[in-house]
Amino acid sequence: MTRQAEEAVRDQRRVPAAQEESGGTSDGERPARAANDGDAALRRRRAVAFGILGAVVLAGVLGYGAYWWLVASRYVSTDDAYVEATPAQITPQVSASIVAVPVRNTQYVRAGTVLVVLDSADARIALERAQAQLQAAERAVRGDFAGVRQFTAQIAARRAEIAAARSNLGKARSDLARRERLAATGAISAEDLTAAENAYRDAKAALAVAEAQFREAQQARAVRDALIAGSSVRDNPQVLAARARLQQAQLNLARTVIRAPIGGIVTNDTAQVGQRAAVGVALMSVVPIYRAYVNANFKETELARVRVGDPVTLRSDLYGDGVVYHGRVAGLAGGTGAAFALIPAQNATGNWIKVVQRLPVRIEIDPAELRRDPLRVGLSMTATIDTAARR
């Protein structure tokens, strides 16, 4: 048998075997049935996949809704927050040359630390002058009190002189009347009558002088009484004014040594030895870093449930998430930053686009945490307010 004949026999044997395996199906029916079975399986797999995906999405939506309702909705957060403090401006209250600056920038100082020393020569001279003026005033007032006593004695003496002058005047008047009667009878000479008349006139003049001196003494005492009325040497107005000038001089001398009013970090130190310090011109600032607070700028749509006293957690970009500060809402600003800008927005003119405004919220930080991890003014913070934990 040739090779071609053997291959023909083998082909005839394969055909019945294939027909038996396919159940007697023809060649055209087999591919169609296989395609239908594959499409059904694919549809089943797709339905299962979409069902699982829908279940996952639904579970996620329900889970997020529950999380938002129970947890997330109670918090409002912003990273538009910055550390602030109220620095003390160090300004001289007397004008003098700077002789020493014992501190430097970035140095921490306690309250009462000497920051700047001014030349005290002029202040010392003014103090000595005020002391001398006080002593002079006290002596002058003591002289007024002594003058009152002196004029009181003079008044008593003038009163006695008036009594004597009146007595002399009465005697002279009697002598003159008697001599006038005798002169009418020719019993005395004209010279005796003239002498009696002169004595009468002298006595009358003496009484007028005594009365004038008495009135002068009374007026002088009235003037001294007005100067010291209702007061002693210590509380006399003249002495009090001199004592006030002395206290001012002492204060000016004390002000030549400028001390820190609060504890904090020395900043913006511009004081130099030899510089003439002018009254009211700042030489440096002291920033109280342990009294720092945070101004957090929240959107107006986030503040509906924020109240004073709400607890706040804060994180600083300086330390990262490893350091958490705790504080409380101390207050909300009286207006937005745009409202107090140098040139406020004019929303009534031109085309207007609504922009959500931000309102500063002041947050006080726990002082113990500030001492543990100090902050600096201007550092960025992230603030989260818990509006549901209000007490």
d(CA 177, CA 184): 11
Residue 21: what pLDDT? 46
- pLDDT exceeds cutoff 60 at 285: yes
Tell which wins on pLDDT, 342 or 199.
199
Of all residues in the chain, the percent with pLDDT exceeding 70 is 82
Range with top average pLDDT, 71-75, 124-128, 161-165: 124-128
What is the average per-residue pLDDT within 26-39? Answer: 62
- pLDDT exceeds cutoff 80 at 157: no
Tell which wins on pLDDT, 210 or 367.
367
Residues 139 and 261 in one domain: no
d(CA 120, CA 390): 56
Residues 165 and 106 in one domain: no
What is the average per-residue pLDDT within 185-198? Answer: 76
Residues 378 and 297 in one domain: yes
Looking at the 3D structure of the chain, how many domains does it have? Answer: 3
- pLDDT exceeds cutoff 90 at 284: yes
Residue at 179 is within a domain: yes
Residue 28: what pLDDT? 53
What is the average per-residue pLDDT within 289-302? Answer: 93
Residues 137 and 175 in one domain: yes
Residue at 52 is within a domain: no
- pLDDT exceeds cutoff 60 at 267: yes
d(CA 152, CA 207): 20
When the pLDDT of each residue in the chain is averaged and rounded to a whole number, the result is 82
Residue at 61 is within a domain: no
Residue 18: what pLDDT? 46
Under the banding of pLDDT at 50, 70 and 90, the label for residue 54 is: confident
What is the average per-residue pLDDT within 122-146? Answer: 88
Residue 378: what pLDDT? 93
User: Of 116, 111, 86, which is closest to residue 100 (Cα–Cα)?
Assistant: 116
User: What CATH number is attached to the domain comprising 301?
Assistant: 2.40.30.170
Under the banding of pLDDT at 50, 70 and 90, the label for residue 84 is: very high
What is the average per-residue pLDDT within 43-52? Answer: 80
User: Of 321, 330, 317, 315, which is closest to residue 364 (Cα–Cα)?
Assistant: 330
Residues 334 and 353 in one domain: yes
Residue 181: what pLDDT? 76
- pLDDT exceeds cutoff 90 at 191: no
| Containing structural domain, residue 130 | 122-252
Among 163-177, 220-234, 260-274, 368-382, name the one with the lowest average pLDDT.
220-234
Residues 248 and 262 in one domain: no
Residues 324 and 238 in one domain: no
Residues 351 and 315 in one domain: yes
Among 55-64, 147-156, 211-220, 310-319, name the one with the lowest average pLDDT.
147-156
Residues 210 and 304 in one domain: no
pLDDT tens per residue across span 320-367 = 989 999 999 999 999 887 787 777 777 766 677 788 889 999 999 999
Residue at 20 is within a domain: no
Residues 131 and 244 in one domain: yes
- pLDDT exceeds cutoff 70 at 218: yes
Among 35-44, 64-73, 380-389, name the one with the lowest average pLDDT.
64-73
Residues 329 and 363 in one domain: yes
Residues 214 and 165 in one domain: yes
Tell which wins on pLDDT, 231 or 380.
380
User: What CATH number is attached to the domain comprising 159?
Assistant: 1.10.287.620
Under the banding of pLDDT at 50, 70 and 90, the label for residue 24 is: very low
Cβ atoms of 288 and 85 closer than 8 Å: yes
